A and B are shown apart, each in its own frame.
Chain A
Amino acid sequence: DAGITQSPRHKVTETGTPVTLRCHQTENHRYMYWYRQDPGHGLRLIHYSYGVKDTDKGEVSDGYSVSRSKTEDFLLTLESATSSQTSVYFCAISANRGGETQYFGPGTRLLVL
């Protein structure tokens, strides 16, 4: 299994509070991704990174920001959590850009009350 961990694995928070999710990899892969998974939707890309300090938006980026200061860590921040951000969040990594297999972390369940 690829070395990807996510923390926390479960979190309950209140509307309006900031939340940061962490993805950590030990594979030295260049690309890292944050997805959310909701019933009735496929996995949807929030943000991705193609290198240290290089990030770009995905299809559902509103309300989220990311940072990548080290190759191994990719942080997802909800500046002011809303109930619509209740979801399961997955981090993924891939070595290269073209057609590469993505390896997924175990997921973080976030409940915003």
Chain B
Amino acid sequence: KNEVEQSPQNLTAQEGEFITINCSYSVGISALHWLQQHPGGGIVSLFMLSSGKKKHGRLIATINIQEKHSSLHITASHPRDSAVYICAAKGGATNKLIFGTGTLLAVQP
């Protein structure tokens, strides 16, 4: 069993829909990262959070430390949001990240 699990693995949405991607982890963490990988392959960091909620534009990330669960929400989705979304957990005393396998999101016009 992977230490970081994402769901769903694939997601297709219509433009304008509200999207939720989930991430569960089994390790103790000091931070949880959300990243975006576009079809061209480049990886961009979206959020790093250790508690509560963060918002950037139409993206919202939440984390529940007790439940070892994080969610990434996209409001008013757009085709340009189509990408792979990856969560990664950072262990307490280490600088290493443990990555989920990603969620492939396709937003159709």
Do A97 and B86 form a contact, CB below 8 Å, given A40-B101, A106-B42? no
A24 to B41, CA, bound (A): 18
| B19: min CB distance to chain A, Å | 20
Q: How far is the CB of A53 from chain B (nearest CB, A)?
A: 17
A43–B33 Cα gap in the complex (Å)?
Answer: 13
Query: Known interface pairs A42-B101, A45-B97. Does A104 touch B44 (Cβ–Cβ under 8 Å)?
Result: yes
Cβ 8 A contact of A97, one of B44, B88, B95, B102: B95
Q: Which of B28-65 contact A (CB under 8 A)?
A: 30-31, 33, 35, 41-45, 48, 50
Cα A108 to Cα B4 with chains together (Å)? 25
- Residues of the B chain whose Cβ atoms lie less than 8 Å from the Cβ of A103: 45
CB < 8 Å: which of B2, B41, B96 contacts A45? B96
Contact of B95 among A40, A41, A100, A104 (CB under 8 A): A100
Q: Count chain B residues whose beta carbon lies closer than 8 angstroms to a beta carbon of A.
A: 24
A107 touches B99 (CB 8 A): no
The prevalent SS among residues of A at the interface is: loop
Give the complex CA separation of A103 and B4 in angstroms. 20
Contact indicator A99/B43 (Cβ below 8 Å): no
CA distance A45 to B99 in the complex (A): 9
Chain A residues with CB under 8 A of B88: 42-43
- What's the dominant secondary structure at chain B's contact region? strand
Contact of B31 among A42, A90, A99 (CB under 8 A): A99
Given A99-B31, A104-B44, 17 additional A-B pairs, CB 8 A: A42-B88, A42-B98, A42-B101, A42-B102, A43-B88, A43-B97, A43-B99, A45-B97, A48-B96, A99-B48, A101-B45, A102-B33, A102-B97, A104-B35, A106-B41, A106-B42, A107-B41
Instruction: For A18, list chain B residues within 8 Å (CB).
Output: none
Chain A residues with CB under 8 A of B31: 99
Residue A88 interfacial (CB < 8 Å): yes
Cα–Cα, bound, A58→B98 (Å): 11
